[in-house]
Amino acid sequence: MSTPDQSEAVDAVDAVPTDPERPGLTPRQARRIRIVVASVMMVAIAVVLVERLASRSSLLVVADYGMALILCGLVIELSRSGRTRLASWLLGVGLVAAVAADWLVLP
């Protein structure tokens, strides 16, 4: 059972006014946006992978773009579980690393 002090504290937290003029996304909207962005990136990476394999077949190409595809799938799963900030950072850093690896490592 909660003491009167605890219930008053919970009521005070619930009574904090929200700013209706402040733009922002609900957590559900943020998750859906990140899932859509990761899905679109996954399709784009798959198209680039097919194009790269047509021009130069290499294990490094498959490894680089395969890791990027796995990364997008991981971002989708993190977003579904509510880890949207971590998913955003991981998507951004991972895709920059994949592009850098394509530019620096691949012939």
pLDDT in tens, 10-50: 444 444 445 566 678 888 888 899 889 999 999 999 998 89
10 assigned to some structural domain: no
79 assigned to some structural domain: yes
Q: Give Cα 12 distance to the centre of its chain.
A: 34
12 assigned to some structural domain: no
14 assigned to some structural domain: no
8 assigned to some structural domain: no
Whole-model pTM over 0.85: no
What pLDDT sits at residue 106? 72
56 lies in which domain range?
27-104
Three-class SS state of 92: helix
2 assigned to some structural domain: no
37 assigned to some structural domain: yes
CB atoms under 10 Å from CB of 91, counted, come to 21
Number of domains in the chain: 1
